Structure 1
Amino acid sequence: MAQYYTTMNLKSRFAPSPTGYLHLGNARTALFAWLAARAVAGRFVLRLEDTDQSRSPQIYEKALLEDLRWLGLNWDEGPDIGGPVGPYRQMERLDIYQKYYEALLETGQAYPCYCSAEDLAAERAVQRASGKSPRYGGRCRHLNEGQRSDLEARSIQPVLRYRVPDSGMLTVPDRVWGERSYALADLGDFVIRRSDGSPAFFFANALDDALMGVNLVLRGEDHLSNTPRQILILQALDLPVPEYAHLPLLLGSDGQPLSKRHGAASLRDLQFYGYLPEAVRNYLARLGHHYAETDLLDDQALAAGFSVEKISRAPGHFDVVQLQHWQRLALQALSDTQLWEWRDLQYALNDAQLWKRLLAANLSDIENGLREKILKAVSEDENLQIQFVAAVRANVLFPEDAVDWLIRCFADEAFAALEKEDTAIAALAETPAEFWPLAAMLLQQSAGDYRIWTKTLQQESGLKGKSLFMPLRAALTGRSHGPELAALLPLIGMERAQQRLHTAASVLSEARN
């Protein structure tokens, strides 16, 4: 099968079943199909395969569209915007399918099958016991009209099966895996219409691709065995056959199928955690596809660098550490103003439950308006917002991190309620008690000048390096690592800083309790 499209008419698609939230493996498939189209100014189609009505409530269709838009994908044709070859929901295309069922019946390439589920299970059991691969034996192939009428009189609703040739080979080219050959006798006659009248995947998926002009199908390698059956259908109906490119599986870092235990399984999970869509696009684009560039790429560069030939046959391994790397790059690409106006950060700033969790040891502070007090102070001073973001941005991966640092900088008495790291507690415990009043006095004398303060404190206390800076950071922030103290000190302010230095011993005591 030769490539028959040009870079001017490439048309790809993403055709999910809206039966749950969008899995990361499917999200990568959607991204690859979108990049393939955008790389050559082609068209990208979104189609919903919603024939499993019991598992396709409206909530999942709505979530699917929302999640794809959040990822940054747009489509040229789809269920929400229409297009020249719609409709784009399979349940709205049943009349179209019926026309082609009748065409196959008329030519004898399809036939009704009345076998029960029990009959088919028994047949498969016998085949397995004899070491054969399970396949339909074709018992209903040769029923005459009288036999069919008798079965229908018993109210048995048949499925419709495609009649696979008894012999021959079918060669299936694949842009990722190369050519594969299939013995037709091994395929068995497969179902193309269920007993309830709804189309089976093999049929509707292939027919929709052909009728919608899709000429490049990117999908998971779990569909490799479906492809020969779908090509047979299209050839029988004299419809164009697209090129196929089957993507390797997406696994967790442990080599097992991706699931919740790896930290995220769906695109909605990543949104919930606060990942930026730019980070997710850059990471997913590199899972099983090679880019020479190691920097964060915009959409134009991602598309320009995409090629089906760069897709690996090896499984992609989802690694949350690598995803966090791209999250950090995406955050650093934002200006200070953009970072402060980050939508997810704004949600977090207004999430009282998050503040309560961060201050779990002292919930009354929330009730007494701590959150409102801090946000009011910051919102009234744009310079303070930018100063805060500039100070903490290198230590923020998620909105929750920014809220935590906001509290650590601007909380007064509630500071004692914040979680203290074990290393910070140890640093406080190892510091002589006389160090704290000295540090507070010298801070006052230095008028808050960080360089003068720490230089004088080093001379007066005899402490230096880690022994000096670790306890100061622990007393002022409750953490052993974080943003530069020189940048945090103006945010914390003289009054709060002195209070924290004076009460370092009591903070230690409370933390131990």
Structure 2
Amino acid sequence: MDVRVRFAPSPTGLMHMGNARTAFFNWLFARKNNGKFILRIEDTDVERSTDVFTEAITQDLSWLHLNWDEGYDKGGEYGPYRQKDRGALYQKHLNVLKEKGVVYPCYCTPEDLDEMRKNQIAKGQMPRYDSRCRYLKDSQRDQYERENKSFVWRFAVPKSTIVVQDMIRGDVTFDSDRVSDFVLTKSSGSVTFHFAVAVDDACMKISHVIRGEDHLTNTAKHVLLFDALSYERPKFAHMPMILGPDGSKLSKRNGLSSLADYRKQGFLPEAILNYMSFLGWAPQKYEDKEIFSLGELSKYFDVGDIGKSPSMFDFVKLKWVNSKYLSRLDIDHLTTMALPLLRESEFIKDDVSEENFVQVKNIVALVQDQINSLSELPSLCEMYFKDTLTHEDPEVKVVLEERTNKEILLTFKEILKDLEEFSDKNLKETFKMVQKKIGVKGKALYLPIRLALSSKMDGAELYKMIQVLGKKRCIDRINKAILL
């Protein structure tokens, strides 16, 4: 069997983490099995679908390096790949279903359906369409046609047990009594999600449908359409939901709202993919490993390893994964990524000379192991761009105001003034001289100097910090700290 999977977003909004995981797992499955990854745009919701969102979706996929083999912008053997361009195909399949007698016109108005629903709820029944138009007499149907009454086409769900074979959950059974006759085309003539999806999956020869478990009840309807149209069913795999830290469905309240938000916050696509791979899946042979390349993930991915239980989204863990990728970046590349953020913070000008680039690179290198996302860079780099420094933290002030620490700063400053070269060797000797004169060592020696220079309890290696700040700024900051 040729493996053909699809990612079929609706362009009614921006991609979120759940969409991205669906796309990624389909992409992994295709690459693992030498198959095709198809991008199909499901824009049957004409009022809400826009080209702006379609473009945003393709940009997000490209940013994630999830290249597709067929799609609305690339074409392919089974196009077109936008549902709004496939109307003739849907009409052809509707005619087939008419000929088979498995669909019927429903003339119920929205008011009729609302009343039906209220009556069912009042009786403690599950709201569902009661199939009243399925059993209309010919005379009544003829009268509606003469009146040119608007209608929709509904699929007549057969009385049976519906079994969906799922690669993750095994056989999932639905009682047809709980699946009401569903709408295939609206009164406007446009098709519904269920009809379009089933026809498209069949005609595009989709071999595997991998999507979220929230579509499981939809699949019960889709397999009925596959059977009615005499198409072979694809294999299904319904992934567990992604929940927020509080156990509720992932949303803007417990996570960033869209993939674009993560990009703006400075998360790397490689880190996003690495983290997403563990939302419901983990390679059984590598349980202790947490950082994987994209090549490794596509090699190890197995749908059979996807769990059934919901996945908990952990923003802290995502930041940790991102920090690992940031720490491995080539420093020139990271510096180039930092430039727009530093310009926005007005730390550097638009034009950066080669000499200035080196200076910025030295600063970025100091904080590289401290950042969890690129958005943190400006705040971490700020102290290296400012000429003056304020000590607002009470804890910092307490340390700097101690008499012994003022002696340390004064002694360090006097030795520093005569130092010609800020090499590691010279700075090491400087600290030894201060230690010998004041009689303190270790943290008691280094902390007041660090606080005077950065106003932070921890951070970059102290020697490197001194070298980047330079003699003048170091002395100025020490003088200010002594005066506290």
- TM-score interval (norm. to shorter): over 0.9
Shift of 1:405: 3.9
Q: Distance in 1 between matches of 2:138 and 2:340?
A: 66
Q: Which residue matches 1:112?
A: 105
Q: Indicate which of 438, 452, 455 corresponds to 2:411.
A: 438
From the superposition, tell whether residues 147 and 39 of structure 1 become closer, same or farther in structure 2 (CA, over 3 Å).
Answer: same
Q: Which residue matches 1:177?
A: 169
Residues 400 and 406, structure 2, Cα contact 8 Å, conserved in 1: no
CA deviations over 1:146-171 (Å, ceiling 9, x no partner): 42343345453211100111x22122
Q: Indicate which of 227, 244, 249 corresponds to 1:252.
A: 244
Q: Which residue matches 1:411?
A: 386
Q: Indicate which of 213, 223, 230 corresponds to 1:231.
A: 223
Q: Which residue matches 2:365?
A: 390
Q: Distance in 1 between matches of 2:275 and 2:394?
A: 33
Q: Distance in 2 between matches of 1:409 and 1:61?
A: 42
- Give structure 2 stretches of 5+ with no counterpart: none
Residues 319 and 373, structure 2, Cα contact 8 Å, conserved in 1: no
Q: Distance in 2 between matches of 1:267 and 1:334?
A: 21
Q: Distance in 1 between matches of 2:137 and 2:101?
A: 13
Corresponding residue SS for 2:349: helix
From the superposition, tell whether residues 222 and 422 of structure 1 become closer, same or farther in structure 2 (CA, over 3 Å).
Answer: farther
Residues 367 and 381, structure 2, Cα contact 8 Å, conserved in 1: no
Q: Distance in 1 between matches of 2:15 and 2:329?
A: 27
Q: Which residue matches 2:472?
A: 495
- Give structure 1 stretches of 5+ with no counterpart: 356-369, 509-513
Shift of 1:324: 1.0
Q: Distance in 1 between matches of 2:109 and 2:449?
A: 76
Shift of 1:457: 1.9
* Mapping 1:179-328, distance limit 5 Å: 179-291=171-283, 292=286, 294-328=289-323
Q: Which residue matches 1:332?
A: 327
Q: Distance in 2 between matches of 1:422 and 1:336?
A: 35
Q: Distance in 2 between matches of 1:398 and 1:457?
A: 37
Residues 410 and 491, structure 1, Cα contact 8 Å, conserved in 2: no
Question: What amino acid does structure 2 have at the position aligned with 1:64?
Answer: I
Q: Which residue matches 2:377?
A: 402
Q: Which residue matches 1:460?
A: 437
Q: Distance in 2 between matches of 1:153 and 1:425?
A: 89
Residues 423 and 480, structure 1, Cα contact 8 Å, conserved in 2: no
TM-score by length of 2: 0.93
Q: Indicate which of 476, 482, 485 corresponds to 2:459.
A: 482
For this pair of structures, how many residues does the alignment match?
476
Corresponding residue SS for 1:264: coil
Shift of 1:144: 4.0
Corresponding residue SS for 1:54: coil
Corresponding residue SS for 1:173: strand
Q: Distance in 1 between matches of 2:281 and 2:198?
A: 26
* Mapping 1:143-182, distance limit 5 Å: 143-165=136-158, 167-182=159-174
Shift of 1:256: 1.1
Alignment root-mean-square deviation, CA: 2.1
Q: Distance in 2 between matches of 1:103 and 1:326?
A: 52
Q: Distance in 1 between matches of 2:257 and 2:160?
A: 42
Q: Distance in 2 between matches of 1:207 and 1:420?
A: 65
Q: Distance in 1 between matches of 2:87 and 2:235?
A: 25
Percent same amino acid among aligned pairs?
38
CA deviations over 1:230-279 (Å, ceiling 9, x no partner): 11111111112111100100011111111122241321110010000010
Q: Distance in 2 between matches of 1:467 and 1:239?
A: 77
Q: Distance in 1 between matches of 2:393 and 2:261?
A: 27
Q: Judge which range, 135-144 or 169-178, deviates more.
A: 135-144
Q: Which residue matches 2:130?
A: 137
* Mapping 1:44-83, distance limit 5 Å: 44-83=37-76
TM-score by length of 1: 0.88
Q: Judge which range, 63-72 or 393-402, deviates more.
A: 393-402
Shift of 1:95: 1.2
CA deviations over 1:368-397 (Å, ceiling 9, x no partner): xx5339x747x4256545533433211122
